[in-house]
Structure 1
Amino acid sequence: MTDTALCYLGAVELLRLYRKREVSPVEVVQACLDRVEDTRNDINAVCFTYPEEALAAARLSEERYMSGSGAAGPLDGVPLALKDENMMAGKVTTYGSLLFADHVADASAPVVSRLLDAGSVVHARTTTPEFSCTPFCHSRQWGITRNPWNTAFTPGGSSGGAGAALAAGLTPLATGSDIGGSIRIPASACGVVGFKPPYGRVPATPPFNLDHYNHPGPMARSVEDCMLMQNVLAGPHPQDITTLKPKLELIADRSGIKGWKIAYSLDFGFMQIDPEVRANTLRAIEVLASLGATVEEVDLSWTWDVYEAAMTHHKALFGAWLAEYLDDREDALCAYTRRFARASLNVGTIDYLNSLSVEGRMWQHFGPMMEGFDLFICPTLAVPAVAADFDIETDIVINGQVVDSLLGWTMAWPFNMLSRCPVLSVPSGRATSGVPTGIQIVGRTFEDQSVFNAAFAYEAAMGGWFRSNADRPSLQGAN
């Protein structure tokens, strides 16, 4: 098996081969490390690698499989890339900022501890924009991260390095976090699978574990790999009061969606949508209908006021945190970070209260509507992607209309507002630029299994993703 073929094996397949002793975790981890170096100049998706520790962990994993003792964990020997905001004890976590270039974590975040305890091998850390505050992926700390499908475009953000690394075969699993779409945006732009769990399903750290927009979650190249990783991440944690009991264990239910009722909206009733995104979304909806589901377009009656409420929430909490750096450290910040931080200074408590009222009105319509449907479908992004070096001050024009340059070209943020809904982003096709597009599969509150059931059926109908060289990015430096 070639190094490239090894790098595109998914977690479920790797575990099967490890158990049969047909492939060694050592050779897989080494192949992934080699591919990181081979693609570094093309996409710049990885900021740190840990070759010595990763190979040592892989050798221990190999011994567990060879012993036949049954002691291997649920992710034993599977390479894993951590986002450069997930603290790992003893390792630098920069948050994509020059201000934290030498910041060494004292302890591991709960998600990192759980993944390590499950036997995964952390071989790389993926790039993120500064403080994960944008939907694209460049920073003064790490430079520009590019989309493997077309390097002129961004892989999305803030988990942009994770999305690019998965698409380029640098890792089979990657961590992400999502307060405005930061898992689903890069999942869509890179053609991978990303899950925003319901609020409280996966533990996080204070203070943002208390922000109901905040959702740590898994990213992978297949639905089952994403589910496997989510089962490791999920469950109550003693350090996070928001985590849900009991732990939900997802299963690979492939019974299909025949007879299901699915609602969809292409534009939420007010957004501008790129024609290629629209066409790919409609084709995905046709696939779901061909599987025996009844699909129905619905009117959400949302407006740009909903968007402004989401922006107010972000400014009041996340932006206020960034505003702490508007002192003698400000000159070290990226321009987009300064812009976001300064915007937060004009938000008051009444503004925040009003944003919560808008969220309440959204659910008063969406919640009762979903009682008549099993799922809701919509695009993940309104455009395939923006430029890799996108300037936040640049206008974005869709169908001749200027939209907000921060999240106005994305469609993930409403489900941070409707935070108890599970959401999977899965590929819907590719644009003429080569950049993938995606759809969001949205479930009723806390009904994660339904979302995965539908995704399994859809993935099977689509034939899966990344199965051959023709379905993978072509990178100049790659093997």
Structure 2
Amino acid sequence: MSGVEYLSATAVLRAFRERTLSPVEVYDAVVARADAVEPTVNALLERDHEDYRAAAITAGERYAGRGDAPRALEGLPVVLKEEQPIAGRTLRLGSLLTEGQIADETHPLAYRTLASGALVHARTTTPEFSCAGFTHSELWGVTRNPWNPAFSPGGSSGGSAAALASGTAYLASGSDIGGSIRLPASFCGVVGFKAPYGRVPALPPFNLDVYCHDGVLGRTVADVALFHNIVQGRHPADHVSLPALPIPAELGDVRGMRIALAVTIGDFPVEPEVEANTRAFAGALKSAGAIVEEVTVPLSLEAASETAFVHYGAIMGAAAVAEIGDARHPALMPYTRQFLAMSAEALERTGVVGGLAGEATVHAALAAVFAAHDALICPTLGTTGFEAGRDYTDGVEVAGRRFPMHMMAALTPVFNIASRHPVLNVPSGRAGNGVPTGVQVVARPYDDVTAFHVGAAAERELGLWNDPAWRPDC
């Protein structure tokens, strides 16, 4: 490695402006890195779509003062999740059932990324229909975690997080209906932001699904703030999208801020290494001047999972069945069939009104915490990893407890139910298997800036990405 691959996005853009690095040099370094690691990691798609080096040369001309002025992300290698359509490009969604499918419109996030001058040199892998917390499919194969290839990078934005961790992109996009930005960010030791519902515009009809969030990932809090500021804000394709709330460049002042520490949520199981790293994260915030108080959030894992699956059954399950015709189609991945079956069963068992009652319970529990606190921190997952290539249709074990569905190892769906809360995943350390752990920084509804202040303060005190040892061996 030359070291260029692991510079922050903000540092690379500064070097472009100061002309101490050129877009061509950076692109060549990223390509060489991808050539070296992609046979193992398998996170990138469509690397050969066009002549990206020519685009890097053009970007360099702009920084040299020839032609138009450089744009916000001019020449920076960025990857986009394949699930977010680009007009005229394939839209396979990780499935064998989508042969020949071509997008006829461009997602607002993708449009804004391309318009910013980013060098979108690849798209990234997902599980089939983005309905799993790991990333593999018959179509694209197994995507592996750069920190430990025996494990998955998480999902569904697993390719995006793995690209960041392996040094093949500086910024990446994701989407999140149950943790699909935060889970892979946690497992890959990067930062991912689930903005509050409506902040990042999306496409109909799923822009109207309050559990659905499109968003961004990066290796540092500042990088994520940079990218989020580009993609957020109202868009004509999304009538319910919210005005932008700019994240300031100066972040990390938490002096006097009251922060609630929940080492778990309710009876959600958490492995000892996850708890230890979460407590270290809380200690970092204390060192930064915050007042950290341990709290309990009285929620039931079983009840919260039922609530989420009722919603998935009503929205995603129905849409998927309409698209493919048969939720038991043999070409579907086993985990997809399980997800659709469990969603349909929950919807039939509990019903939409029962699901709303469950959502109200979640909101009430969080409201009690935020009545006295500016932010809440809790683990992103209770587990220290999902094995690469495994479907987990036989369930998952966390801290000695067995559950029927692998997503019950995550603490993330709570904040898709409570979708107006901004949530930032920030690395908290590593487990003994080498896989990173993460903490969710949750702020009050629509208070995006506080989440970034808390995340930046913990990141500064822990110093992980500033440590050259905080790099995968791949």
Please give the range of the TM-score, normalised by the shorter of the 2 chains. over 0.9
Q: 1:234 maps to which residue?
A: 232
Q: 2:295 maps to which residue?
A: 298
Q: 2:361 maps to which residue?
A: 361
Matched residue of 1:71: which SS? Answer: coil
1:208-219 mapped onto 2 (5 Å cutoff): 208-219=206-217
Change (3 A) 1:344 1:381: closer
Change (3 A) 1:147 1:260: same
Q: What's the CA shift string for 1:247-306, capped at 9, x where partnerless?
A: 211112335211111112112121111111111111111111121211112122111212
Moved more, 66-75 or 112-121: 66-75
Moved more, 201-210 or 302-311: 302-311
Matched residue of 1:268: which SS? Answer: coil
CA contact (8 A) 2:252 2:454 kept: no
Q: 1:463 maps to which residue?
A: 463
Q: 1:18 maps to which residue?
A: 16
Q: 1:433 maps to which residue?
A: 433
Change (3 A) 1:435 1:98: same
Q: 1:252 maps to which residue?
A: 249
**Partner of residue 282 from structure 2, selected from 258, 278, 285:** 285
Separation in structure 2 between the aligned mates of residue 342 and residue 40 of structure 1, nearest angstrom: 34
1:435-454 mapped onto 2 (5 Å cutoff): 435-454=435-454
Q: 2:133 maps to which residue?
A: 135
Matched residue of 1:67: which SS? Answer: coil
Separation in structure 1 between the aligned mates of residue 459 and residue 226 of structure 2, nearest angstrom: 16
Q: In the alignment, does 2:64 pair up with 1:53? A: no
Separation in structure 1 between the aligned mates of residue 364 and residue 398 of structure 2, nearest angstrom: 30
Note the C-alpha offset of 1:214: 0.5
Separation in structure 1 between the aligned mates of residue 342 and residue 192 of structure 2, nearest angstrom: 29
CA contact (8 A) 1:323 1:344 kept: no
- TM (norm. structure 2) is 0.96
Matched residue of 1:295: which SS? Answer: strand
Q: What's the CA shift string for 1:122-164, capped at 9, x where partnerless?
A: 1011110001000011101111111110111110000001111
1:70-85 mapped onto 2 (5 Å cutoff): 71-85=69-83
Note the C-alpha offset of 1:396: 1.6
Note the C-alpha offset of 1:226: 0.3
Change (3 A) 1:216 1:92: same
Q: 2:415 maps to which residue?
A: 415
Q: In the alignment, does 2:228 pair up with 1:264? A: no
CA contact (8 A) 1:98 1:141 kept: yes
**Structure 2, gaps ≥5 residues long:** none
Note the C-alpha offset of 1:44: 0.9
Q: 2:205 maps to which residue?
A: 207
Note the C-alpha offset of 1:323: 1.9
Q: 1:403 maps to which residue?
A: 403
CA contact (8 A) 1:359 1:418 kept: yes
Separation in structure 1 between the aligned mates of residue 81 and residue 12 of structure 2, nearest angstrom: 22
> What letter corresponds to residue 186 of structure 1 in structure 2?
P
Matched length: 471
Q: In the alignment, does 2:336 pair up with 1:311? A: no
Note the C-alpha offset of 1:52: 3.5
Separation in structure 2 between the aligned mates of residue 301 and residue 18 of structure 1, nearest angstrom: 49
CA contact (8 A) 1:262 1:377 kept: yes
Q: What's the CA shift string for 1:368-406, capped at 9, x where partnerless?
A: 430311110000010121101222222322232112323
1:184-203 mapped onto 2 (5 Å cutoff): 184-203=182-201
Matched residue of 2:187: which SS? Answer: helix
CA contact (8 A) 2:464 2:470 kept: no
Q: 2:65 maps to which residue?
A: 67
Matched residue of 1:389: which SS? Answer: coil
Q: What's the CA shift string for 1:87-146, capped at 9, x where partnerless?
A: 112222211111224322222111000011111011011110001000011101111111
Q: What's the CA shift string for 1:351-382, capped at 9, x where partnerless?
A: 12211111112212312430311110000010
Note the C-alpha offset of 1:42: 1.3
Matched residue of 2:286: which SS? Answer: helix
Matched residue of 1:85: which SS? Answer: coil
Q: 2:387 maps to which residue?
A: 387
Change (3 A) 1:122 1:39: same
> What letter corresponds to residue 192 of structure 2 in structure 1?
G
Change (3 A) 1:353 1:274: same
Q: 2:339 maps to which residue?
A: 340
Q: 1:152 maps to which residue?
A: 150
Separation in structure 2 between the aligned mates of residue 402 and residue 255 of structure 1, nearest angstrom: 39
Matched residue of 1:429: which SS? Answer: strand
Change (3 A) 1:54 1:89: farther
Note the C-alpha offset of 1:240: 0.5
Q: In the alignment, does 2:318 pair up with 1:320? A: yes
Separation in structure 1 between the aligned mates of residue 326 and residue 296 of structure 2, nearest angstrom: 46
Change (3 A) 1:258 1:96: same
Matched residue of 1:230: which SS? Answer: helix
Change (3 A) 1:327 1:414: closer
CA contact (8 A) 1:101 1:141 kept: no
Note the C-alpha offset of 1:69: 6.8
CA contact (8 A) 2:148 2:434 kept: yes
Separation in structure 1 between the aligned mates of residue 411 and residue 110 of structure 2, nearest angstrom: 28
Change (3 A) 1:192 1:445: same
Moved more, 351-360 or 129-138: 351-360
Separation in structure 1 between the aligned mates of residue 155 and residue 330 of structure 2, nearest angstrom: 23
C-alpha RMSD of matched pairs (Å): 1.8
Separation in structure 2 between the aligned mates of residue 10 and residue 88 of structure 1, nearest angstrom: 26
CA contact (8 A) 1:111 1:233 kept: yes
Separation in structure 2 between the aligned mates of residue 328 and residue 20 of structure 1, nearest angstrom: 54
